[in-house]
Structure 1
Amino acid sequence: MLRFILGRLLVSIAVFLGISVLLFALVRSAPGDPLDMYFDPMSFQGPDREAALAAAREQLGLDKPLPVQYFTWLGEAMRGNLGRSLVSGRPVSSVMTERLQNSSSLMLAALLISLLLGIAAGLLAALKRNTAVDYVLSAASLVALSIPVFFLSLVGMYVFGVKLGWLPTAGMNEPGGGALSGLRHLVLPAVILGFSGAAAYMRWGRASVLDVLDRDYMVTARSKGLSTSRVVWRHGVHNALIPLITVVSMQIPTLFSGAVIVEQIFAWPGMGRFAVDSITARDYPAIMGFVMFVAVLVVLCNLVADVLYAIVDPRIRL
């Protein structure tokens, strides 16, 4: 098992380095000059502006060759220093830590809702296949997958925030509000994100369990007189976990990096809004910090998924 994990870890490190080189080259090759955000073009013109730009470029190391810039950035990033934002002047790592804390509460709540609803509905639909329960759950999942998340967010805001007045529709908390106020702000965006993810988990869970139920070892277990619940939970669900592990490992980075629409609609100051603001401002250190965070998250989730595969099915270690 240890040899298997070390092998996957070495592959993950190589993938991470390849991603870092590619992304650094792509970001640096984007049109425009990041130093345009440093100076107001109307403040001064002519030689003074050119001299100021040259001094700032030298100070930030942007005058060095790209390979030197890359290795300098990578060395600092390995020590946790992602540079300073060109817009705010604050360390990128500090800004990302604040935004990550905000996103974590939203994404973990959404993931928990997705898993509970999706896996339970998928298992129920598989056990009740070709019945009214199966048809209703399958139709509901298709409807949920078809509804754009921005439309679902606007409907939720209108119904539960405007018409009923049960839940707030913007921000993370009220001024001076406590934990209860923060929880009320969390409910609506988390449920909307969780509902969208649950539909995908339901489809995958149903297909995985149905694939397992007709296997020879399931028929053998039933023929031995084992109860239906024991056969399903001990043999069925256990062997149907691998596809679900794959889906969840891909969904976690998507939740942190792809929930831009929900965070924008609900004015949630998370990683998604941080990415949009950084790209709009051409803030290269912030863009690189965000993209590398997502890359590390993808690599780590895939590494954890590989380890879980080996735990669920020991044959994979070979």
Structure 2
Amino acid sequence: MTAYLLRRLLHAIPILIGVNLITFALFFVVNTPDDMARLHLGEKHVTADAIAGWKRAHGYDRPLLYAPEAGGLARFTETLFFQKSARLMVLDFGRADDGRDIGRDIRQRMGPSLAIAIPSLVLGLLTNITLALGIVFVRGSRLEHTAVFLAVLGMSISTLFYIIGAQYLLGKLLNLAPVSGWLDGWAGIKFLVLPLLVGVVSGIGSGVRWYRLLFLEEAGKDYVRTARAKGLAEGRVLSQHMLRNAAIPILTGVVAVIPLLFMGGLLTESFFAIPGLGSYTIDAIRSQDFSIVRAMVFLGAAMYLLGLLLTDVSYTLADPRVRLQ
């Protein structure tokens, strides 16, 4: 197990380096610092002096990869690649274009994002699996066809509709929960009601449809027919046999949302005014703060690789037949 984890961690390093290089190329080669200056200054006819002043003020006046006028290691460290990209590999996110410490902002905003993402993930997973098992239990009936129709209808509706609908119906008309805002501690639980509800309900359509297909595939296998032949009740077959054997596909689907635990829901956090990483990214895009956007892109890639590693490890816990070599 230890050797496997070390190998996977070593495999992740080249991937992170590749993500870092691609991000660097997009921000500094395709979209040059001169282009950033023009976008940030917001003027049609920007003078060369104004561009040079903006680049100097934000640290974008260095060479890209090599500084021949510097001496020793400074030829490589006094470059845009080292100052703006290479430091990301050790989670040194640097400072935003307005001078803020990006690492400090991330630590402060991670809590609200996790407060929404983790309950949404757990509640959504339990809800979707329970409903999917119920649909498989009544397979072949009109109730199944109705449930599948509602699932397809639900996944066809935009998340934005659920957000606005919940804010208007539950927040404004019925006044059951605050429409937006945030408070730290237990006092902030009331601000989690609508975001959690939207997170769970908006994912029911696609989640139920996906898990239903998994369980229907398992329902036709030999071990299920054997369990039924032994006289086991259908509910026990579904919960104790099919669910256990479908654990690996379920874990594979869960890994796709691991980055959301840290990155937050972009739309949800923005519309509900939650100071998480999702709204942090949206605000950075609006203000054209390229340092924050680069940091969040890299952080998202790192979290996804971590999710893949955790998923592989969890396979051994879900199915003892799987051995990590």
**TM-score between the two structures when normalised by the length of structure 1:** 0.84
- Counterpart among 244, 255, 269 of residue 249 in structure 1: 255
Residue 179 in structure 1 maps to residue 180 in structure 2: no
Deviations 1:14-56 (A, max 9, x none): 2222111111211223255445688798xx9886x57744643
Q: Equivalent residue for 1:56?
A: 57
Q: 1:19 to 1:78 in 2, by over 3 A?
A: closer
The answer to whether the 8 A contact 1:93-1:289 is kept is no
The CA deviation at 1:169 is: 0.5
Q: Which amino acid aligns with 2:255?
A: S
2:64 is matched with 65
Q: How big is each residue's C-alpha offset from its partner over 1:75-108, in whole Å with a ceiling of 9 and x where there is no partner?
A: 5334432111112x11111112222222111111
Equivalent of residue 84 in structure 1, options 60, 82, 95: 95
Which residue in the other structure is 1:21 paired with?
21
Q: Structure 1 stretch 161-170 or stretch 78-87: which is displaced more? A: 78-87
Supply the distance in 2 between the matched residues of 1:145 and 1:233 (Cα, whole angstroms). 25
1:198 paired residue number: 204
Which blocks of at least 5 consecutive residues in structure 1 are unaligned? none
> In the alignment, is residue 292 of structure 1 matched against residue 302 of structure 2?
no
Percent pairwise identity: 28
Q: Is 1:112–1:194's contact at 8 Å kept on the other side of the alignment? A: no
Tell me the distance in 2 between the aligned counterparts of 1:101 and 1:209: 35
| 1:11 paired to 2:11 | yes
Q: Secondary structure at the match of 1:83?
A: coil
d(CA) in 2 for partners of 1:19, 1:147: 33
Tell whether the 8 Å contact from 1:249 to 1:305 is kept in structure 2 after alignment: yes
Q: Is the 8 A contact 1:86 1:283 kept in 2?
A: yes
Q: Specify whether residues 184 and 136 from structure 1 end up closer, same or farther in structure 2 by C-alpha distance, changes over 3 A only.
A: farther
The 8 Å contact of residues 228 and 237 in structure 2, kept in 1 or not, is answered as: yes
Stretch of structure 1 that moved more, 224-233 or 290-299: 224-233
Post-superposition offset of 1:215: 0.6
Paired position in structure 2 for 1:140: 150
Alpha-carbon distance change, 307 to 260 in structure 1, aligned in 2, over 3 angstroms: same
Q: In structure 2, which of residues 282, 289, 293 is the aligned counterpart of residue 283 of structure 1?
A: 289
In 2, distance between residues paired with 1:207 and 1:84? 47
Contact 1:114 1:196 in 2 (8 A): no
The question of whether the paired residues in 2 share the 8 Å contact of 1:8 and 1:306 is answered with no
Which amino acid in structure 2 is aligned with residue 185 of structure 1?
F
Equivalent position to 1:152, from 149, 162, 168:
162
TM-score w.r.t. the length of structure 2 is 0.83
AA of the residue aligned to 2:8: R
Check the 8 A contact 1:242/1:309 in 2, yes or no. Answer: yes
Give the structure 1 partner of residue 75 of structure 2. Answer: none
The structural deviation recorded for 1:250 is: 0.6
